[in-house]
Amino acid sequence: MPFKSLRELRAACLDLPSGSDAAANAVARRQDTLTKPQGSLGRLETIAAWLARWQGRDMPKLDRVKVFVFAGNHGVTAQGVSAYPSEVTVQMVANFAGGGAAINQLARMAGAELDVIPLDLDHPTGDFTQGPAMDEAAFLAAVSAGYDAVTKDLDLICFGEMGIGNTTPAAAVSAALFGGGAEKWTGRGTGVDDAGLKRKVVAIEAGLKRHAAALADPLAIAAVLGGRELAAIFGATLAARHLGIPVLLDGFVCTAAAAPLAKLHPTGLAHTIAAHVSAESGHRGLLEALGLPPLLDLGMRLGEGSGACLAVNIVRSALECHARMASFAEAGVSEK
Protein backbone atom coordinates (compact mmCIF):
# COMPACT_ATOMS: atom_id res chain seq x y z
CA MET A 1 0.00 0.00 0.00
CA PRO A 2 1.70 3.23 -1.11
CA PHE A 3 0.12 5.43 1.58
CA LYS A 4 0.34 4.25 5.17
CA SER A 5 -0.75 7.55 6.73
CA LEU A 6 -2.60 10.72 5.85
CA ARG A 7 0.70 12.54 6.30
CA GLU A 8 2.29 10.47 3.52
CA LEU A 9 -0.72 11.00 1.27
CA ARG A 10 -0.76 14.75 1.89
CA ALA A 11 2.93 14.99 1.07
CA ALA A 12 2.34 13.16 -2.22
CA CYS A 13 -0.47 15.60 -3.08
CA LEU A 14 1.83 18.56 -2.53
CA ASP A 15 4.70 17.14 -4.61
CA LEU A 16 3.30 17.29 -8.14
CA PRO A 17 5.30 17.53 -11.38
CA SER A 18 4.44 20.54 -13.51
CA GLY A 19 4.57 18.93 -16.96
CA SER A 20 6.80 19.80 -19.89
CA ASP A 21 6.67 23.39 -21.13
CA ALA A 22 9.11 22.41 -23.88
CA ALA A 23 6.82 19.70 -25.26
CA ALA A 24 3.73 21.92 -25.12
CA ASN A 25 5.59 24.76 -26.84
CA ALA A 26 6.82 22.41 -29.57
CA VAL A 27 3.21 21.45 -30.30
CA ALA A 28 2.16 25.10 -30.43
CA ARG A 29 4.96 25.90 -32.90
CA ARG A 30 3.99 23.02 -35.16
CA GLN A 31 0.33 24.01 -35.04
CA ASP A 32 1.26 27.42 -36.42
CA THR A 33 2.87 25.83 -39.51
CA LEU A 34 -0.11 23.61 -40.46
CA THR A 35 -2.41 24.30 -43.39
CA LYS A 36 -5.08 26.26 -41.54
CA PRO A 37 -5.51 29.73 -40.12
CA GLN A 38 -3.73 29.90 -36.79
CA GLY A 39 -6.00 28.85 -33.97
CA SER A 40 -8.79 27.74 -36.30
CA LEU A 41 -9.07 24.26 -34.77
CA GLY A 42 -9.85 25.81 -31.40
CA ARG A 43 -9.67 23.39 -28.50
CA LEU A 44 -8.32 20.62 -30.73
CA GLU A 45 -5.07 22.59 -30.81
CA THR A 46 -4.92 23.09 -27.05
CA ILE A 47 -5.78 19.42 -26.48
CA ALA A 48 -2.76 18.39 -28.55
CA ALA A 49 -0.55 20.68 -26.46
CA TRP A 50 -2.12 19.34 -23.25
CA LEU A 51 -1.29 15.78 -24.29
CA ALA A 52 2.28 16.79 -25.04
CA ARG A 53 2.74 18.65 -21.76
CA TRP A 54 1.64 15.78 -19.56
CA GLN A 55 3.14 12.96 -21.61
CA GLY A 56 6.39 14.92 -21.92
CA ARG A 57 6.58 14.23 -25.67
CA ASP A 58 6.92 16.70 -28.55
CA MET A 59 4.72 14.31 -30.52
CA PRO A 60 2.11 12.77 -28.22
CA LYS A 61 0.73 9.28 -28.74
CA LEU A 62 -2.45 7.42 -27.88
CA ASP A 63 -1.38 3.81 -28.29
CA ARG A 64 -2.75 2.74 -24.90
CA VAL A 65 -5.91 4.36 -23.60
CA LYS A 66 -7.56 2.82 -20.57
CA VAL A 67 -10.86 3.28 -18.76
CA PHE A 68 -10.92 2.48 -15.06
CA VAL A 69 -14.34 1.94 -13.53
CA PHE A 70 -14.21 1.77 -9.75
CA ALA A 71 -17.23 0.35 -7.92
CA GLY A 72 -18.28 0.81 -4.30
CA ASN A 73 -21.31 0.61 -2.03
CA HIS A 74 -22.57 3.23 0.39
CA GLY A 75 -24.10 3.01 3.84
CA VAL A 76 -25.94 6.29 3.31
CA THR A 77 -28.39 4.46 1.03
CA ALA A 78 -30.11 3.48 4.29
CA GLN A 79 -31.48 7.03 4.25
CA GLY A 80 -33.52 6.33 1.10
CA VAL A 81 -31.36 8.44 -1.22
CA SER A 82 -31.44 6.16 -4.30
CA ALA A 83 -34.15 4.82 -6.58
CA TYR A 84 -32.29 1.49 -6.82
CA PRO A 85 -31.18 -1.00 -4.15
CA SER A 86 -27.49 -1.45 -3.34
CA GLU A 87 -27.35 -4.94 -4.88
CA VAL A 88 -27.51 -3.28 -8.29
CA THR A 89 -23.85 -2.29 -7.88
CA VAL A 90 -22.78 -5.95 -7.85
CA GLN A 91 -25.18 -6.77 -10.67
CA MET A 92 -23.82 -3.98 -12.84
CA VAL A 93 -20.23 -5.07 -12.20
CA ALA A 94 -21.28 -8.46 -13.56
CA ASN A 95 -22.86 -6.71 -16.53
CA PHE A 96 -19.57 -4.91 -17.22
CA ALA A 97 -17.78 -8.27 -17.12
CA GLY A 98 -20.30 -9.68 -19.58
CA GLY A 99 -19.88 -6.77 -21.99
CA GLY A 100 -23.48 -5.60 -21.67
CA ALA A 101 -23.15 -2.06 -20.34
CA ALA A 102 -22.92 1.24 -22.19
CA ILE A 103 -19.28 1.64 -21.16
CA ASN A 104 -18.36 -1.63 -22.88
CA GLN A 105 -19.66 -0.33 -26.20
CA LEU A 106 -18.19 3.15 -25.81
CA ALA A 107 -14.77 1.87 -24.75
CA ARG A 108 -14.66 -0.40 -27.78
CA MET A 109 -15.55 2.44 -30.12
CA ALA A 110 -12.91 4.66 -28.51
CA GLY A 111 -10.19 2.02 -28.83
CA ALA A 112 -9.80 1.91 -25.05
CA GLU A 113 -9.17 -0.95 -22.66
CA LEU A 114 -11.65 -1.37 -19.82
CA ASP A 115 -10.69 -2.31 -16.28
CA VAL A 116 -13.48 -2.65 -13.70
CA ILE A 117 -12.30 -2.66 -10.10
CA PRO A 118 -14.84 -3.53 -7.37
CA LEU A 119 -13.94 -2.27 -3.90
CA ASP A 120 -15.19 -4.42 -1.02
CA LEU A 121 -18.77 -4.40 -2.30
CA ASP A 122 -19.96 -6.73 0.44
CA HIS A 123 -19.05 -4.10 3.05
CA PRO A 124 -20.61 -0.71 2.29
CA THR A 125 -19.05 2.41 3.73
CA GLY A 126 -20.53 3.79 6.90
CA ASP A 127 -23.66 5.91 6.80
CA PHE A 128 -22.14 9.38 7.05
CA THR A 129 -25.24 10.71 8.80
CA GLN A 130 -24.34 8.44 11.72
CA GLY A 131 -20.53 8.43 11.62
CA PRO A 132 -17.64 8.66 9.14
CA ALA A 133 -18.03 6.91 5.81
CA MET A 134 -14.49 5.58 6.20
CA ASP A 135 -11.93 5.61 8.95
CA GLU A 136 -8.36 6.50 8.07
CA ALA A 137 -7.33 2.90 7.32
CA ALA A 138 -10.27 2.23 4.99
CA PHE A 139 -9.77 5.55 3.21
CA LEU A 140 -6.06 4.98 2.67
CA ALA A 141 -6.71 1.45 1.42
CA ALA A 142 -9.16 2.73 -1.20
CA VAL A 143 -6.87 5.59 -2.27
CA SER A 144 -3.98 3.14 -2.54
CA ALA A 145 -6.06 0.74 -4.64
CA GLY A 146 -6.69 3.50 -7.14
CA TYR A 147 -3.08 4.67 -7.07
CA ASP A 148 -1.74 1.16 -7.64
CA ALA A 149 -4.11 0.50 -10.55
CA VAL A 150 -2.39 3.07 -12.77
CA THR A 151 0.68 1.92 -14.69
CA LYS A 152 3.23 4.13 -16.40
CA ASP A 153 2.76 2.52 -19.84
CA LEU A 154 -0.60 4.27 -20.40
CA ASP A 155 -0.99 7.31 -22.67
CA LEU A 156 -4.43 8.52 -21.57
CA ILE A 157 -6.77 7.51 -18.76
CA CYS A 158 -10.52 7.82 -18.31
CA PHE A 159 -12.17 7.38 -14.94
CA GLY A 160 -15.65 6.07 -14.33
CA GLU A 161 -17.59 4.77 -11.35
CA MET A 162 -20.43 2.51 -10.33
CA GLY A 163 -22.05 2.77 -6.93
CA ILE A 164 -25.71 2.95 -6.07
CA GLY A 165 -26.27 6.10 -4.03
CA ASN A 166 -22.92 7.70 -4.90
CA THR A 167 -24.29 11.03 -6.09
CA THR A 168 -25.12 11.64 -2.42
CA PRO A 169 -21.49 11.47 -1.19
CA ALA A 170 -20.42 13.36 -4.32
CA ALA A 171 -22.81 16.19 -3.44
CA ALA A 172 -21.72 16.10 0.20
CA VAL A 173 -18.03 16.33 -0.77
CA SER A 174 -18.78 19.19 -3.17
CA ALA A 175 -20.72 21.11 -0.53
CA ALA A 176 -17.95 20.57 2.02
CA LEU A 177 -15.22 21.72 -0.37
CA PHE A 178 -16.97 24.68 -1.99
CA GLY A 179 -19.82 25.67 0.33
CA GLY A 180 -23.30 26.71 -0.67
CA GLY A 181 -25.25 24.12 1.27
CA ALA A 182 -26.72 20.77 0.32
CA GLU A 183 -29.47 21.97 -2.01
CA LYS A 184 -26.98 23.65 -4.35
CA TRP A 185 -25.24 20.36 -5.10
CA THR A 186 -27.97 17.76 -4.82
CA GLY A 187 -29.67 16.26 -7.88
CA ARG A 188 -31.90 13.32 -8.63
CA GLY A 189 -29.10 10.81 -9.32
CA THR A 190 -30.69 7.55 -10.44
CA GLY A 191 -34.04 9.32 -10.78
CA VAL A 192 -35.43 9.77 -7.28
CA ASP A 193 -38.79 11.48 -6.90
CA ASP A 194 -39.36 14.70 -4.97
CA ALA A 195 -39.49 12.88 -1.65
CA GLY A 196 -36.25 11.06 -2.46
CA LEU A 197 -34.58 14.34 -3.42
CA LYS A 198 -35.60 15.82 -0.09
CA ARG A 199 -34.18 12.80 1.73
CA LYS A 200 -30.86 13.32 -0.08
CA VAL A 201 -30.73 16.96 0.97
CA VAL A 202 -31.57 16.09 4.58
CA ALA A 203 -28.93 13.34 4.65
CA ILE A 204 -26.24 15.62 3.24
CA GLU A 205 -27.11 18.40 5.66
CA ALA A 206 -26.90 15.89 8.50
CA GLY A 207 -23.50 14.69 7.29
CA LEU A 208 -22.14 18.21 6.99
CA LYS A 209 -23.32 19.04 10.49
CA ARG A 210 -22.03 15.81 12.05
CA HIS A 211 -18.59 16.17 10.48
CA ALA A 212 -18.21 19.95 10.76
CA ALA A 213 -14.88 19.59 12.55
CA ALA A 214 -13.38 17.79 9.54
CA LEU A 215 -14.46 20.23 6.85
CA ALA A 216 -11.28 22.33 6.84
CA ASP A 217 -9.22 19.42 5.47
CA PRO A 218 -9.89 18.13 1.92
CA LEU A 219 -8.55 14.67 2.76
CA ALA A 220 -10.72 14.40 5.85
CA ILE A 221 -13.74 15.47 3.78
CA ALA A 222 -13.03 12.71 1.26
CA ALA A 223 -12.80 10.16 4.07
CA VAL A 224 -15.78 11.04 6.24
CA LEU A 225 -18.24 11.98 3.46
CA GLY A 226 -17.00 10.08 0.40
CA GLY A 227 -16.89 6.48 -0.73
CA ARG A 228 -14.38 3.84 -1.69
CA GLU A 229 -14.80 4.39 -5.43
CA LEU A 230 -14.40 8.15 -4.96
CA ALA A 231 -11.26 7.60 -2.90
CA ALA A 232 -9.87 5.23 -5.54
CA ILE A 233 -10.50 7.80 -8.29
CA PHE A 234 -8.68 10.36 -6.16
CA GLY A 235 -5.73 8.00 -5.78
CA ALA A 236 -5.68 7.15 -9.47
CA THR A 237 -5.80 10.83 -10.43
CA LEU A 238 -2.82 11.44 -8.17
CA ALA A 239 -0.94 8.48 -9.65
CA ALA A 240 -1.58 9.74 -13.17
CA ARG A 241 -0.03 13.09 -12.28
CA HIS A 242 3.04 11.46 -10.77
CA LEU A 243 3.45 9.18 -13.81
CA GLY A 244 2.85 11.83 -16.49
CA ILE A 245 -0.47 10.53 -17.82
CA PRO A 246 -3.24 12.93 -18.90
CA VAL A 247 -6.73 12.21 -17.57
CA LEU A 248 -10.28 12.62 -18.87
CA LEU A 249 -12.72 13.04 -16.00
CA ASP A 250 -16.24 11.74 -16.43
CA GLY A 251 -19.29 13.17 -14.67
CA PHE A 252 -20.33 14.57 -11.31
CA VAL A 253 -19.10 11.72 -9.12
CA CYS A 254 -15.68 11.49 -10.80
CA THR A 255 -15.20 15.24 -10.67
CA ALA A 256 -16.16 15.39 -6.99
CA ALA A 257 -13.79 12.50 -6.31
CA ALA A 258 -10.84 14.33 -7.86
CA ALA A 259 -11.76 17.78 -6.51
CA PRO A 260 -9.89 17.50 -3.17
CA LEU A 261 -6.62 17.43 -5.14
CA ALA A 262 -7.43 20.89 -6.52
CA LYS A 263 -7.96 22.12 -2.97
CA LEU A 264 -4.65 20.64 -1.81
CA HIS A 265 -2.54 21.98 -4.70
CA PRO A 266 -3.23 25.04 -6.88
CA THR A 267 -2.59 23.09 -10.10
CA GLY A 268 -3.73 19.73 -8.77
CA LEU A 269 -6.05 19.00 -11.70
CA ALA A 270 -4.03 20.66 -14.47
CA HIS A 271 -3.40 17.25 -16.03
CA THR A 272 -7.15 16.62 -16.35
CA ILE A 273 -9.83 17.67 -18.81
CA ALA A 274 -13.52 17.54 -18.04
CA ALA A 275 -14.89 15.24 -20.71
CA HIS A 276 -18.47 16.43 -20.41
CA VAL A 277 -20.95 18.24 -18.22
CA SER A 278 -23.48 15.87 -16.74
CA ALA A 279 -27.20 16.46 -16.45
CA GLU A 280 -26.78 15.87 -12.70
CA SER A 281 -27.56 19.30 -11.33
CA GLY A 282 -24.40 19.89 -9.30
CA HIS A 283 -21.90 19.07 -12.01
CA ARG A 284 -21.92 22.33 -13.97
CA GLY A 285 -21.32 24.35 -10.81
CA LEU A 286 -18.55 22.00 -9.72
CA LEU A 287 -16.77 22.34 -13.06
CA GLU A 288 -17.07 26.11 -12.81
CA ALA A 289 -15.66 26.07 -9.28
CA LEU A 290 -12.70 24.01 -10.52
CA GLY A 291 -12.17 26.05 -13.71
CA LEU A 292 -12.67 22.98 -15.93
CA PRO A 293 -14.64 23.77 -19.11
CA PRO A 294 -16.28 20.58 -20.43
CA LEU A 295 -15.70 19.23 -23.91
CA LEU A 296 -19.24 17.86 -24.37
CA ASP A 297 -22.75 18.67 -23.18
CA LEU A 298 -25.03 15.82 -24.19
CA GLY A 299 -27.45 15.66 -21.26
CA MET A 300 -25.86 12.42 -20.01
CA ARG A 301 -26.00 11.25 -16.38
CA LEU A 302 -25.10 7.57 -16.58
CA GLY A 303 -21.62 7.55 -15.06
CA GLU A 304 -19.51 4.44 -15.81
CA GLY A 305 -16.99 6.67 -17.61
CA SER A 306 -19.41 7.03 -20.52
CA GLY A 307 -18.82 10.72 -21.18
CA ALA A 308 -15.07 10.34 -20.80
CA CYS A 309 -15.04 7.55 -23.39
CA LEU A 310 -16.90 9.72 -25.88
CA ALA A 311 -14.30 12.44 -25.35
CA VAL A 312 -11.47 10.02 -26.22
CA ASN A 313 -12.62 10.27 -29.81
CA ILE A 314 -12.20 14.05 -29.70
CA VAL A 315 -8.72 13.69 -28.23
CA ARG A 316 -7.81 11.18 -30.95
CA SER A 317 -9.07 13.63 -33.58
CA ALA A 318 -6.95 16.41 -32.07
CA LEU A 319 -3.85 14.23 -32.25
CA GLU A 320 -4.55 13.04 -35.81
CA CYS A 321 -4.84 16.61 -37.04
CA HIS A 322 -1.68 17.61 -35.21
CA ALA A 323 0.37 14.62 -36.36
CA ARG A 324 -0.86 14.17 -39.95
CA MET A 325 -1.78 17.56 -41.36
CA ALA A 326 0.67 18.97 -43.84
CA SER A 327 2.52 22.19 -43.23
CA PHE A 328 2.18 25.09 -45.63
CA ALA A 329 5.65 24.32 -47.00
CA GLU A 330 4.93 20.58 -47.41
CA ALA A 331 1.65 21.19 -49.20
CA GLY A 332 2.88 24.07 -51.34
CA VAL A 333 0.13 26.31 -49.95
CA SER A 334 0.81 30.03 -49.79
CA GLU A 335 0.85 31.60 -46.35
CA LYS A 336 -0.73 34.94 -45.64
The catalytic residue among 161, 304, 320, 330 is: 304
Clarify whether 136 is annotated catalytic.
Answer: no
Maximum CA pair distance of the chain? 70
Question: How crowded is residue 181: how many other Cβ atoms within 10 Å of its Cβ?
Answer: 12
Residues with Cβ within 8 Å of 336's Cβ and at least 6 positions away in sequence, in order, are none
In terms of C-beta distances under 8 Å and separation of at least 24 residues, what long-range contacts does 206-215 make, across chains too? 206/129, 207/76, 207/128, 207/129, 207/172, 208/172, 208/175, 208/176, 208/182, 210/128, 210/129, 210/130, 210/131, 211/128, 211/132, 211/176, 215/176
Residues tagged active-site: 304
